[in-house]
Amino acid sequence: MLNPLASRIFVAVEPVDLRLGLDGLCARVQHGLALNPFGGDWVIFRNKAGNRLKLVVFDGVGFWLCYRRLERGRWVWPKAGERVMTLSYPQFLLLVQGQDWRRVKAPEEFRPSLI
């Protein structure tokens, strides 16, 4: 079961060719970002134009590959310098809505209630 509240959410800072499928993106997770693709962490990639992204996550049974495209505008993305950065769950929600996730400064331990 996917549980963003129990997972870390990573953003690959450098753009990738989103023609890559699951195997290619998992190879990037492992070799390019030095993360474990089977670890249950969410890893988000974007294309060079900045209007598409893919999310890769392993849920214990299999992999999920989610794709999102903005019809207008570009994703707000971190500046180059690090290969990977971490987002909080509230920041992730803003990111996938195409909004500026940087305006949320939630502490890492913040987790919204499921009730």
Question: Per residue in 54-103, pLDDT tens?
Answer: 999 999 999 999 999 999 988 888 877 778 889 888 899 998 888 888 88
Please give the residue that has the higher pLDDT: either 67 or 2.
67
Cβ contact 43:65 at 8 Å = no
Neighbour-count burial of 3, counting CB atoms closer than 10 A to its CB (0-12 exposed, 13-18 middle, 19+ buried)? exposed
Spatial neighbors of 54 by CB under 8 A, at least 6 apart, are 18, 25, 44, 45, 46, 65, 66, 67, 68
Confidence (pLDDT) at 115: 40
pTM recorded for the entire structure: 0.83
Confidence (pLDDT) at 4: 60
Mean pLDDT of the chain: 85
Phi, psi for residue 56 in degrees, rounded to 5? -120, 130
